[in-house]
């Protein structure tokens, strides 16, 4: 059984050896937070360790692709020569096919956390990478594969991919995936995301495709410091885009969630999130990160929906540049 345990502080070598003596196989340890992932059949010995605050099974999540496609106008960025040069974006997804002519030269590092190799069998991560590249063509991409060929996402793999991304220099991590559960931003994954953001990496997370009910945002989109992205189509919030609770200031922004590539028609908050990641990557070069993030509160187009549906509104590169 794959398990996640919560500790007060990052686990020590001695504590790891204690776990190993009772049959735990270490899968992940964080240098930044008190969280550890391991494989273990008999969990009863865990109760003897007072350094473990709690444990639970590693959850299975979903990639957040819905159905349909439409382009986003980022002409203001391109006319200003803002193409993401020098910025590294980690695509935590199903992998990236580097034989794609647009992506082969921009993927600078890759790591597989699924055990099946870095190739993108699901094609989801490649699509996400192409959206980011279409907006920020000079940004470098990190291929952090956490989604397997069947579209399954193991939560431990997401922890691993996030920390690997930070350790390998990612300025932004894009997660077009999520775990649907009751959370007020206090689950271990959301807390972990907040810790990594404090270390300097922006985390852009899809809100989820479980709308239109309130309180349907997936994790880590519930993380306070994540940039959580809902989806729009034709200037309106899509029915599937997850909403925050009535008292929750999530999502942070919304973006078009529909694109067309040849004969293919795809949509979802999976599409909206990398559009925001691409815009942020384009702006992070010449502008300071916190200033760019602060501009979202006034650099978005108000669509007339409530805060827990549209966040600050639809991200608008031209308006953000005016604010900056």
Q: Annotated catalytic sites, by residue?
A: 93, 124, 270
Structure tokens, 75: 């002409």
Total Cβ atoms within 10 A of residue 282:
31
DSSP secondary structure, 298-320, as one string: TSEE--S--HHHHTT-EE-HHHH
Secondary structure letter of residue 217 according to DSSP: P
Query: 3-state DSSP call for residue 130?
Result: helix
Query: 3-state DSSP call for residue 176?
Result: coil
CB contact set of 306 (below 8 Å; sequence gap of 6+): none
- The H-or-E segment that residue 90 falls in is strand 88-93
Q: What are phi and psi of 216, to 5 degrees?
A: -115, 10
């Amino acid at each position: 059984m794959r398990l996640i345990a919560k500790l007060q502080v990052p686990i020590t070598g001695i504590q790891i050896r204690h776990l190993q003596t009772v049959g735990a196989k270490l899968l992940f340890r964080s240098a930044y937070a008190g969280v550890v992932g391991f494989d273990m059949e008999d969990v009863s010995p865990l109760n003897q360790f007072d350094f473990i605050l709690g444990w639970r099974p590693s959850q299975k999540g979903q990639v957040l692709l819905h159905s349909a496609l439409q382009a986003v106008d980022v002409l203001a960025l391109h006319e200003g020569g803002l193409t993401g040069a020098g910025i590294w974006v980690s695509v935590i997804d199903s992998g990236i096919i580097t034989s794609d002519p647009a992506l082969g030269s921009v993927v600078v590092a890759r790591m597989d956390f699924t055990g099946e190799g870095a190739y993108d069998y699901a094609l989801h991560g490649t699509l996400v990478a192409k959206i980011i590249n279409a907006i920020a063509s000079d940004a470098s991409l990190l291929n952090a594969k956490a989604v397997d060929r069947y579209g399954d996402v193991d939560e431990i793999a997401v922890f691993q991919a996030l920390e690997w991304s930070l350790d390998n220099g990612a300025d932004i991590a894009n997660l077009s995936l999520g775990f649907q559960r009751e959370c007020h931003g206090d689950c271990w994954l959301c807390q972990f995301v907040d810790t990594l953001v404090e270390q300097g990496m922006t985390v852009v997370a899809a809100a989820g495709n479980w709308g239109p009910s309130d309180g349907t945002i997936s994790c880590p989109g519930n993380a306070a410091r994540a940039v959580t992205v809902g989806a729009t189509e034709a200037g309106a919030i899509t029915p599937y885009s997850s909403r925050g609770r009535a008292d929750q200031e999530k999502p942070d922004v919304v973006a078009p969630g529909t694109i067309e590539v040849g004969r293919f028609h795809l949509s979802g908050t999976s599409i909206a999130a990398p559009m925001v990641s691409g815009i942020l990557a384009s702006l992070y070069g010449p502008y300071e990160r916190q200033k760019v993030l602060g501009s979202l509160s006034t650099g978005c187009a108000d669509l007339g929906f409530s805060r827990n549906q549209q966040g600050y509104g639809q991200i608008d590169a031209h308006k953000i540049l005016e604010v900056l």
